[in-house]
Every structure is written in C-alpha cells, then in structure tokens.
C-alpha cells in the first residue's frame, strides 16, 4: 500500500475533528518519525513502513478512548518500540538482496564535498564506539532534535538525569576524538 493510500484509508475512519487533529500531528511529525526509524534500521523502505505503523498504532490507541498528553513523545515511544522489535527480529535475505545491498550507494558521492564525507564518516565511527545508551541519548538530542523533557518522557527518566547523561555522553564522544 502506498504512503498516501494508507494515510487516506486511515483518515476516512475519523470524524472531522479527530481527522484534523490526526492530520495536523501527521504533518508535523511524520518526517521526523521517518528519520528516527531510518537512522536506527538503515533501510529506507522499511523505515517508511515503520513510520506508517507508528501512526496506525497511535490511532488504534486513541480510538480506544485513551488520551495522549504529549503526542510527539508518544509517537517517538511507539516508533522506538517498533524499531527495537525490528532490530531484534531475525531477518532472512535472498542472495540477490545481499548483492544489491553490498553494491547499494544511497547518494551520489560526487555531489558532496570530500571534507564533509570524512567528518560524517568519522563521527559515525566514533558514535559506534559509545555505549548504546550514550549513542541513543545523543541521537535523540542532536539528530532527532528532541527536548530534554521529551527524552525524559520517552526513556521514563527525570529531566535532570537526562541532562547529566547527555553531558556525560558528549564528554565520552569528545574523548574518542582526542
């Protein structure tokens, strides 16, 4: 099912007020949720599907009459859980898929400056050396652009603890650069 047909079918089931609220939240957060998923699972098509599933599950939750105080944090929590499930789920690849993935080049490298590629590559390598929680919290803060309070809600922590963890993760990353 294409991106738009899925969204159209889902919105057809809503009354006008709920439809407007849902569309507003979709417009506001769909791209960010897609990036969140894509950064974690490294598969663009599957990330689109997980983004759609995030909104579907959110609608199913709301349809049960349950309330959500912070929609952004709730959507990230749903997306996070879906990504975790995706990562731990065993995968089967055909030989053709493996060949495609090995030769796959998502960007035309000629269109970027070599310095930027080296910087991003080095940052990615250093991020991989961090503890999983450090990597996750820095990703949420600086790539997903979540506020400390939103990260705290997503991780079921208090904001002060999140701030400390962010600062410590930044220090760990700086040490890796030295």
pLDDT of 138 strictly over 80: yes
Q: How many independent structural domains does the chain possess? A: 2
d(CA 139, CA 106) in angstroms, rounded, equals: 21
Range of the domain at 4: 1-106
pTM of the predicted model as reported, rounded to 2 decimal places: 0.55
Confidence label for 14 from pLDDT (cuts 50, 70 and 90): low
Residues 123 and 39 in one domain: no
Residues 38 and 92 in one domain: yes
Query: pLDDT tens digit string along 74-98?
Result: 999 999 989 888 877 655 554 455 4
Half-sphere exposure of 68 (CA within 13 A, CB side): 22
Residue 52, both tokens: 């759609």
pLDDT of 2 strictly over 50: no
For residue 54, count CB atoms less than 10 angstroms from its CB and return exposed for 0-12, middle for 13-18, buried for 19 or more.
Answer: buried
């Amino acid at each position: 099912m294409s991106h738009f047909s899925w969204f159209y079918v889902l919105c057809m089931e809503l009354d006008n007020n709920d439809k407007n609220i849902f569309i507003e939240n979709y417009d506001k957060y769909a791209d960010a949720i897609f990036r969140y998923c894509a950064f974690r699972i490294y598969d663009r098509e599957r990330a689109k599907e997980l983004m759609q599933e995030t909104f579907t599950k959110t609608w199913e939750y709301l349809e049960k009459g349950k309330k959500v105080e912070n929609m952004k944090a709730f959507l990230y929590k749903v997306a996070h859980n879906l990504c975790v499930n995706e990562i731990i789920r065993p995968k089967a690849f055909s030989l053709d898929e493996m060949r495609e993935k090995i030769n796959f080049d998502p960007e035309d490298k000629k269109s970027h400056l070599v310095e930027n590629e080296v910087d991003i590559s080095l940052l990615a390598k250093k991020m991989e050396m961090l503890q999983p929680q450090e990597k996750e919290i820095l990703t949420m803060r600086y790539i997903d652009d979540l506020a400390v309070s939103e990260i705290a809600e997503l991780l079921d922590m208090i904001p002060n603890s999140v701030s400390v963890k962010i600062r410590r993760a930044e220090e760990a990353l700086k040490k890796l650069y030295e």
